[in-house]
Amino acid sequence: MNRLLSRWLPVYAFLYIVFLYLPVIFLPIFSVNTSAVPQFPLSGLTTKWYKELPNTPALLDAAWNSLIVGVAAAILSTILGICAARAITRYRFRGRTAINGLIMAPLVLPEIIVAISLLIVLIQLGFSLSLFTVVLGHILICIPYSMTVLTSGFEGFDRSLEEASADLGESAFGTFRRVTLPMVAPAIISSLLVSFTISLDEFILAFFLAGTDATLPLYIWGQLRFAAKLPGVLALGTLLLVGSFLLVTIAEVIRRRAARRTQNEGGAIV
C-alpha cells in the first residue's frame, strides 16, 4: 500500500496538473493559428490576430474601463481589507467571528445571487448602472481575497515590535512609518495585485451592473456570438491570461519574501 502510494501519487499529481493546465494552454495555441476555426492540425502560424487588437476601438475602450474599475476596486478593497485584517489580528472583541464570517461570505455565495441583490438595491436607490456600480460590486467580492492576504501578512507581525519602537522613543506616527508600514507593505502590495486580478477577470457582477460601458470580460462575452471573431478573442484572452499570471506570480513572490523575513510560513493566497 505504501509502495503503491509513493509510486502512483506523483503520477496522479502530474496528471492532475496537466488536467488543470491543458485547457488553458489551447487559448494561446489557437491564437496564433491562421485559421479562424480552432482545430488541429494548425493551418499555419500568424500574429495577425494580435496585430488587429489595437485597431479595435471597442476593445481599447473596454481595456481602459477594466483598468479604471480594477484600480479603483483594488485600492478600495485593500483599504477596507487593511482595516478589517488589522482589527481581526490585533483586537479581540465581541462579534469578531461573526463579522469576519459576513465579510468573507461573498466567497461562498453564488455570484448571481450577489449580483441580482446589488442590482435591485442600486437601481431602487436611483443609481444608474455604470462603471461605478461595477466597482461597488467588485469591492464586495475582492475584500475576502484582500482579507486573506492581509491577515496572513499581519499575523506574522509581532506586537512587541511596535512596543519596542515606542520604547526607543518613536512616536505613534513614526512607529507606523518606520516599523509597521515596511513590515506589512508586502502584504498590502500583494493584496492590491490580487484584487486587481480578480476585478480584471470578473464577469457576472459586471454583466449585471455595468450598464452600457463594457469591461474586458464583457467585451469578450459580446464577441463570443460571432464565430469569425473567435481568433481575436483568443488573442485577447491569451493576453489576459498572461497578465493575470504575471500579477499573481509577482504577488506571491512578494508575499513569500516577506513571509521568509518575518519567519511566518503558511497562509498562502486564496
Partner 1 sequence: MTEAADETLPPARATRGHRKALLQSEQSKGFALISPTFAYALVLLVAPIIVVVAHSFWTQDYLTIDRTFTLENYRIALTEPIYRDLLMRSLVISLLVSFFTVILAYPIAFYISFHGGRHKGIWLFLITVPFWTSYLLRVMSWKVILGYNGVLNSGLMGLGIIDEPSTALLYNTTAVVITLTHAWAAFAVLPIFVSLEKIDRTLIEAAIDLGDGPVRRFLRVVLPLSLPGVIAALLIVMIPTVGDYVTPKLVGGKDGVMIANAIQAQFGKASNWPLGAALSVTTMAVVTTMAGGIVLLLRWSTRLMR
Partner 2 sequence: MSDRPMIEIRNVTRSYGSFKALDDANLSIREGEFFSLLGPSGCGKTTLLRMIAGFDNPTSGSIFIDGQPMAGIAANRRPTNMVFQSYAIFPHLNVGENVSYGLKRLKLDAGEEKRRVEEALEQVSLTGLGQRGATELSGGQRQRVALARALVMRPKVLLLDEPLSALDKKLREQMQVELRRLQQAVGITFILVTHDQYEALAMSDRIAVMFGGKIAQVDAPQVIYQRPATRQVADFLGGMNFVKADVVEVNGETITLETLGFGRITTAKPAGFSGNGASTTLGIRPERLRVLWDEEKAKFEVAGKVIERHYFGEITQLVVAVDGLEKPLSVTETNDFGADDIPVGAPIRLGYDPDALVAMAD
Q: x/- binding map, residues 175-194, to partner 1, per CB under 8 A?
A: -------------------x
- Grid cell at residue 215: 469591461
For residues 47 and 32, the answer to whether their CB atoms sit within 8 Å is yes
Residue 164 binding partner per list partner 1, partner 2, none, with a CB distance cut-off of 5 to 8 Å that depends on partner kind: partner 2
Of 183-202, binders to partner 2 (CB under 8 A) are: 183
Find the part of the chain contacting partner 2 (CB under 8 A) among 36-44, 154-162, 222-230, 247-255. Answer: 154-162
- Shortest approach of partner 2 to residue 85 CB, angstroms? 19
Near partner 2 by CB under 8 A: residue from 53, 130, 178, 248? 178
121 lies in the site for partner 1, by CB under 8 A: yes
Report CA 219 to chain centroid distance, whole Å. Answer: 19
**Residue from 114, 134, 183, 258 binding partner 1 (CB under 8 A):** 114
CA atoms within 13 A on the CB side of 209: 29
Contact between residue 88 and residue 96 where contact means Cβ atoms under 8 Å apart: yes
CB of 84 to partner 1, least distance (A): 4
90 binds, among partner 1, partner 2, none (CB under 5 to 8 A by kind): partner 1
Contact 210, 131 (CB under 8 A): yes
- Residues that contact partner 2, how many (by CB under 8 A): 21
Q: Does 169 interact with partner 2 (rule: CB under 8 A)?
A: yes
| Site membership for partner 2, residue 212 (CB under 8 A) | no
Between 90 and 261, name the residue whose CB sits nearer to partner 2: 261
Contact region for partner 1 (CB under 8 A) — 47-55, 56-64, 182-190, 196-204?
196-204
Beta-bridge partner residues of 33: 45
- What is the CA 196 to chain-centroid distance, rounded? 5
| Closest CA relative to residue 194, chosen from 244, 156, 231 | 244
> Is residue 38 within 8 Å of 30, Cβ to Cβ?
yes
Phi/psi of residue 132, each to 5°? -60, -45
Using the contact rule CB under 8 A, the part of the chain among 73-81, 90-98, 107-115, 153-161 near partner 2 is 153-161
Contact 175, 184 (CB under 8 A): no
CA distance 210 to 269: 28
Grid cell 455604470 in the structure block, residue:
130
**CA–CA gap between residue 242 and residue 248 (Å, rounded):** 10
Judged by beta carbon distances under 5 to 8 A according to partner kind, the member of partner 2, partner 1, none in contact with residue 69 is none
- Site mask for partner 1 (CB under 8 A), range 70-109, x = bound: ----------xx-xx-xxx-xxxxxxx--x--xx-xxxxx
Question: Cβ neighbours of residue 52 under 8 Å, at least 6 residues apart?
Answer: 232, 235
From 153, 186, 217, 232, residue interacting with partner 1 (rule: CB under 8 A): 217
Q: Does 179 bind partner 2 (CB under 8 A)?
A: yes
- Cell numbers standing for residue 236: 485577447
Site of grid cell 513590515: 183
Residues that bind partner 2 (CB under 8 A): 158, 160-161, 163-171, 174, 178-179, 182-183, 260-263
